[in-house]
Structure 1
Amino acid sequence: MKLKKSVNLLLAAVLIFSLALAGCSKNNNESGASGGASGSPATNKEITLAYVAWDSEIASTNVVKNVLESKLGYKVNMLQVDAGPMYLGIADGSADAMVAAWLPSTHGENYYEPNKDKFEDLGVNLDGTKVGLTVPTYMDISSIEDLNGDVAASLDHTITGIEPGAGIMIATSKAIEEYGLDGWKLLESSSAAMAKVLQDAYANQEPIVVTGWTPHWMFAEMDLKYLEDPKNVYGGDEQIHTLVRLGLKDDHPDAYKFLDQFEWTPADMEEVMVDIYNGTDETEAAKKWVEANEDKVSQWIDGI
């Protein structure tokens, strides 16, 4: 009888201990689900950011990712896609947000306008961007019209571009037509490959024309210029907007408010881009910038 009594007492103790652990676990989960940087991200605090593989958008999206994770306790999934799928992802809800909408010209007609009723535009996160055909300053041409001259042969009638489907590629195809650049071809590659071709040509002082945009680290590392665009094919100065899926405000109000308040400058973005260009991992470059700019980051998450 004594042995049976001892076993019963032991089982009771184990049961009480198990219930206590379950209570602690429940409290911890509830605490995590409420948000905040001090706890682990809860399972429902998960968000997907879509972006294109432009150096500028790699920089901005990684900074946003870092803030969501380190300050707001989210688990962030990164979805790298082309421009078209990026917009469709926000429109159909398979992605939650992006900070990579170049408007009004680069993405406007082909991607933004057809989908504008299917997502929410939170406005400008960076002002003063520009896109166009770019050459080194040592080249003695100043306008897209000049590509019809003697320089064409030295360039092998080739414009080095980036990913097919990018807004700047669509605009460049239009520019070839509008400026009558007969026999010219637009070489599809990637933003990284374009920059490498430009660097190699620049190092040898060779002629080269590429699809360029600012902010971009290449303007900080090389003396470059945009070719004048008298037909205004590429449009004027642009802005980068933040877009979010419909319903994000209700599902994740803290992330929504941060994304709505996220805004920085071309100089901020270039600082991250240059670090990445110089060999720093993109995640570490974003973390470094966030830690060095606590005042600005605090404004982004103010009121959360």
Structure 2
Amino acid sequence: TLNLPRIAYRARGDDDRLFEEARRLMDLAVEIFKVKKRWMDLAVKAGRLPFAVQRPRDPRTGRRGPPAVDLDSLVYTIGVVGGNEMAQWHTGYQLHESPEAVKLLVKLLLEMRKYKVELEQRTGLRLAIARTPAESCAQRLAVADLISPEFRDMAVKVVKGDLERAKELLAEGVRDVPVYYTNGTHVYVGAQIPLTERISIEQKFWPILSGGNIFHIWLGEAYPDPEALFKLTKRIATQTHIGYFAYTKDLTICQQCFEVSAGINDVCPSCGSPNVKYWSRVTGYYQEVSGWNEAKKQELKERYRTRISV
């Protein structure tokens, strides 16, 4: 996964240097893929991947079929994190603040996609540029820049989360801190803009990326209007480039009476017990919030939730 903000830090406002640095990191990613492929080839020869290379028999003919996993046709994914902060540092604006920021990220991704084709022809590897889940990576890359003498002064101006608390914890040697870069090509989760505007921005990146995309709709109502949800779903599915999206409603689960209530509640609305747990969508799936890292917990606090109405 490429640290897009660091690419911008190195470019220092120069578009050509921005694209050059992206290509350099893509070259590095390909070298890592080559090492991984050599390791897999050795593992297969040593019989260490029996499940992947098994050839199940056809129950009717008894003949063995092809391997369960065709290792030669695997796709190697180059992920991206922090598109919003990359644009913010390079242009001075976040994605939701200026069309120029959106144009820059689109231009960078197109340059990367073009170079991906060149790398495929040169190496024979099948490559993809995608938004990766980055449940830990979005935090780890932000922390790496904050503790780097070279990038610290730049990173503090664009990282998201509770920067002051993060500085205190980093000084104590703690690395699980409440700061992060925005996931992939998403708009900053705390951007207080209409849902239609966020759709308009994020859909521009879908035709460029090869996969890993998800569009989040953080619900601000306990019981959204079903008719409104249907109309919104139909509109997204038929009138936008967005191909995968999810509605997310935060949940509070009481450990005393086991009542499930909507939203993040300090106490159970039913019995008043403070012994509650929270569930929400970490990225692609629901999970108990207590298992999240501190960056994801901070992101949960900052998410701008939408009211869906007819």
Do they superpose with TM above 0.5? no
Higher strand share: 1
Task: Using structure 2 for the length normalisation, give the TM-score.
Answer: 0.23
Task: Using structure 1 for the length normalisation, give the TM-score.
Answer: 0.24
Q: Bigger relative contact order, structure 1 or 2, given CA contacts below 8 A and separation 6+?
A: 1
Which protein shows a greater Rg? 1
